[in-house]
Structure formats: structure tokens, C-alpha cells
Structure 1
Amino acid sequence: MRVITLEEHIEFPDITAAIAQSSGQAPVPKLSEGMRHYMATELPDPATMQDVTGPRLAYMDAQGIAMQVLSFGNAQPQNLPVAQAIALCQQANDDLAAVVAAHPDRFAALAVLPVADPQAAAKELHRAVEEKGLRGVLLKGNFGGKLFDDPFFFPIFQAASNLGVPVYFHPSFIPGEITSHYFASDQWSDVVTGILSSAGYGWHMDVGVQVLRMVASGIFDKLPNLKLISGHWGELVPLFLERLDDEFTPHAGLRKAFSDYYREHVWVTPSGMLTRPQLRFLLDEMGEDHLMMACDYPYKQPQNVQAFLAAGDLTPAQQEKFAFGNAEKLLHLK
């Protein structure tokens, strides 16, 4: 079966080197011993991240993946100071566009934006989509202590809405005080704290809260064409749609119930967590039109893509929507 996967990461040596140089001149997150250990031992090596035509295409062919939608992961220029971020994001988007132009049948891409200057970010999103052919934007974590529902960032979402392209919310490092409060303990090592606060749980809780806050902010009443993508089966939020309707909706002062906004404006991917219980649950909660495939390559490289799609939980029509149809429609890939 044809498959399009949406959360597939890449880096470029020129951008990585420029980020390293800029980070040496600007504040960077202080990482715990556990987080440094996780990054050193669990994350892919630079050659794998930067590869385009070698192991990446071999993996795609082996798993029957027709197209990856490329984006930067955590090593990206989004959160640099404005002076560096604007130029580096433009360069990064140009690099993404060049890969897509060289392999248009295998790759599409999501832009990276200089969020420290939302007006410049909106302008760059227009350039990336209208001139470079990128299909949306990926935002990671938070910026400067602000979450993305803050009105400060509204121009970015207004641009995405006007362009008709989605915004992918991606996890990133959480503040140290949250790590200390929720995930640190003298009952386990700092390495375990680092895992629990990041890919084990904390990242997902954090970015799920961001999507929740987008709904609570009322932005979808202002921008009814805005579309979001949430990975890792929705980062915990779909588990609470009915609860949020019961507790939040009566007091929110919004036009619709929380679950109505979520089901209309959010698309969900597994991000490599190819697990049947979550698929069955999300199919019930979200419906067949709002689920799309993602492997989270190269952080995760699941070896059961075709088997997962063909295991019987989905009708043939649902399989096609999940595997490629919804992505083609949302990202205008045809």
C-alpha cells in the first residue's frame, strides 16, 4: 500500500554548524546529566540525520513508504535570537526545498520559522509555501517562556490559516523546574529523570498542553481555517475529550465544545508508535478523516509499517485515508 509519513526529520551540515556557532553567542537550555546521556546514546548520529539518498531511501523502500514529509527536529534554528534566526530559517527552508526539488516523488517538507519575530515568521512562511513549495510548518516546544497560544504568535497562525497549510506541534525540552518537580527523584538516577522528562513522557505532556491551550484560547473562532497536527497519538489529549467537554466547555465562553474544535481542527499521527490499541481508540475518538501516518524517522524506524496498516482494524477505505489519502488532502500533495 502507498504510504506517506509526516514526521520525518532531517538536518543539514551547514545549518547545524551555524546553529552551533550562534548558540555559542546566545543562551542555550541547561541540560541535565540525564538529558545529555539520552542525547548522546539514543539520538541518531549526524550522518543518519543528514542522509537523503542512502539509508533513508533504503528504509522507505523496505517499508513501502512512497514519500516522507521532511522537517527539522530539535536541531533547528527556530529558537535562536532574531538576528541569527531569520537568515538561518530562510537558508534551512531553501535547503529543504532543494531536497524536495531533487526528489519530488519521494519528499515534501515543512518549514522552520524564526518565532522570535512573528511578523518575520509569517513572511517567511508565505515565502516558503508560495515560492519554495513547502507544505506547512513545524513548531517545536516553546519559545522564551511563552507557549504558542500567546497572542504574540498570532501572525504565524494567521499566515498558516490564510495559506491553508497545517502547523505541526512537535515536542522539545521542557523547563528545568518542571523536570525537577515532576520527574526527578532520589529513588532513581538522573538518567531516568532525563528519559521521563523527555521522550518517555514529559515532552508529550508539554506539547499536548500546548494544543489544549490553542483550543482554550479561542483561536479557532478567529481562524476557522487553521489546521494543527499533533503527533504521538495526540500527545495524551484525545484521552480527555469527553472530560474536557464536561468540565471545561460549560465555562469556556466558546462557540463549540472542546471536542468539536479538536476533532475539526486537529489531525493526529502515531509518530512511530505503531500500536493497535491506540489506533483503535483514535479511530473511535477522531474518525477516519483525521488520522495520518508518521514514523518519526530516524529517531524511530519501525519495521512493521505495512503490517500495521494491513492488520484488520481498518476497512480498505480507512487504510487508504490513514496511509496516504488524508495527508494528500491536508498537505495538497497531489
Structure 2
Amino acid sequence: MPDAWRPSLRTEDGHRIVGFRGRELTSAVGEFSDAGVMLADAAATGVEHLLLSPWISLVPVGAGPDEARLVCRVQNEGLARLVAAYPGRLSAVGAVPVQDPAVAARELAELMAVPGLHGVEIPSSVGGRYLGDDFFLPFWEAAAGTGAVVFIHPSTRGFGIPALDGYYLWNSVGNPLETAVTAAHIAVAGVLERFPGLRILL
């Protein structure tokens, strides 16, 4: 029996379904989860190199510190193997348990020593805290010190605003809104002045 903290994968009627922390996630379509398909699609448009990131729904911000560290490490190891299988064509950013910034800082330092991994993906907020909060300073210090790319991804499905429930608006409208809000928090809180070497991808 697999460890309870591990994401599971099954295929049903040709569709990939990922189970994680009691949820079933159905958007792991082939063009987003099959490296061969992604590279072929990219090559058809003249793109020769792809940067991969974890699926934000599998970044375990609601987990305890031990479980979160394990889940992040499993994803990072998998991404590193995938990058190694396609030399020169793939790079990746990994995951760290940013809900514990001190642990995230240590994990980030280890991750940056892995060939092919160039940074991390983190959610735009954790437990109601936005990324400009002083709580995250140990993480930002480590990110600046290691030169890591920090990819910030929306994670609240449009802040739960009812008007964004339909027509995929939680994504097309909510995600840019959430990105703008977290960027404003980072800027106004002075994070960029404190760590001018940060490499942030929104």
C-alpha cells in the first residue's frame, strides 16, 4: 500500500486523475504531464527548451512540516529525473514547504545544488499570509542568496469570489487578480528593496 502522503495517479477512460490529500484532480491532461508531448508541441512552434514546474495543487501548503517536506522532495526528485532524461531540452523549478520558511530556506539550498533545477514554485499566499509578510523573510533571504528563480502561482481559485465561479472566470480573471495582489504586497512591503537580487517570475 502506498504511503498516505504520496499523490496517486490513475487513468480512467483515457484521462489521468491525480489523488492528493482527499481531492481528485482531473486537469493532468497529456499535453501538461507528458514530456514527450510537451516537447513535440513546443518544437512545432519553434521553442527548443521548456521550464517545468510542479502542479500548484500538489504543493502541500496545508500539510504538516514533515509531510510537506516529503511531498516536495518526491516532486523535486521526479523533476530532476525528467530533466536528466531530456538533456538540453528541459529545466525545472521545484517545490519547498514555504509554510515553514526556515525549513523552506534549507530545502531551497539543497534543491539549488541539483543539476537542472533552477528555483521553486510557491503559492501566492499561505494560510491568509501574503508573500510580503515578514514571516517569509527567511525564505526570501535564501532565494536571494542562492539566485533561485521564484515562480509565484495563484492558488485560491479567484479568492473564492462567487462572481468568478462560472465560465472559468476564477482562472481567466481571478488568477491575474491574485497575481497582482501578491505582487503589490511584495513590492509595498519592501521585499524587493531588502533583497534586490531576487529573481521572481509572476
| Residues 129-168 of structure 1 aligned to structure 2 (within 5 Å) | 129-168=112-151
Gaps of 5+ in 1: 1-13, 29-35, 185-189, 231-334
Structure 1 residues 25-82: Cα deviation after superposition (integer angstroms, max 9, x where no partner): xxx8xxxxxxx9xx86xx452x4433112x2221122111110000013332331312
2:132–2:190 contact (8 Å) kept in structure 1: no
| Residues 295-334 of structure 1 aligned to structure 2 (within 5 Å) | none
| Residues 66-145 of structure 1 aligned to structure 2 (within 5 Å) | 66-81=48-63, 82-145=65-128
Provide the C-alpha distance between the structure 2 equivalents of 1:155 and 1:218, rounded to a whole number of angstroms.
14
Larger Rg: 1 or 2?
Answer: 1
Displacement of 1:159:
0.7
1:209 aligns with 2:200: no
Aligned to 1:50: 33
Larger strand proportion of the pair? 2
Computed over aligned residues only, the root mean square deviation of the Cα atoms, in angstroms, reads: 2.5
Provide the C-alpha distance between the structure 2 equivalents of 1:200 and 1:133, rounded to a whole number of angstroms.
31
Aligned to 1:191: 166
Give the letter for the 2:177 counterpart. M
| Higher RCO (C-alpha under 8 Å, 6+ residues apart) | 1
Provide the C-alpha distance between the structure 2 equivalents of 1:200 and 1:72, rounded to a whole number of angstroms.
20
Assess, with a 3 A threshold, how the Cα gap between structure 1 residues 174 and 51 changes in structure 2: closer, same or farther. closer
Gaps of 5+ in 2: 10-17
Provide the C-alpha distance between the structure 1 equivalents of 2:41 and 2:157, rounded to a whole number of angstroms.
31
Assess, with a 3 A threshold, how the Cα gap between structure 1 residues 15 and 52 changes in structure 2: closer, same or farther. farther
Displacement of 1:122:
0.9
2:52–2:92 contact (8 Å) kept in structure 1: yes
Report the TM-score, using the length of structure 2 for normalisation.
0.82
Displacement of 1:15:
5.4
Aligned to 1:20: 19
Displacement of 1:219:
1.3
Runs of 4+ in 1 over 6 A off after TM superposition: none
Instruction: Look up the SS of the partner of 2:106 in the other structure.
Output: helix
Instruction: Look up the SS of the partner of 1:110 in the other structure.
Output: strand
Aligned to 1:222: 194
Give the letter for the 1:105 counterpart. G
Provide the C-alpha distance between the structure 2 equivalents of 1:102 and 1:118, rounded to a whole number of angstroms.
31
1:169–1:211 contact (8 Å) kept in structure 2: no
Give the letter for the 2:19 counterpart. A
Displacement of 1:135:
0.7
Larger helix proportion of the pair? 1
Structure 1 residues 261-287: Cα deviation after superposition (integer angstroms, max 9, x where no partner): xxxxxxxxxxxxxxxxxxxxxxxxxxx
Aligned to 1:59: 41
Displacement of 1:108:
0.4
Give the letter for the 1:153 counterpart. F
Q: Percent identity?
A: 27
Provide the C-alpha distance between the structure 1 equivalents of 2:145 and 2:155, rounded to a whole number of angstroms.
27
Equivalenced residues, count: 189
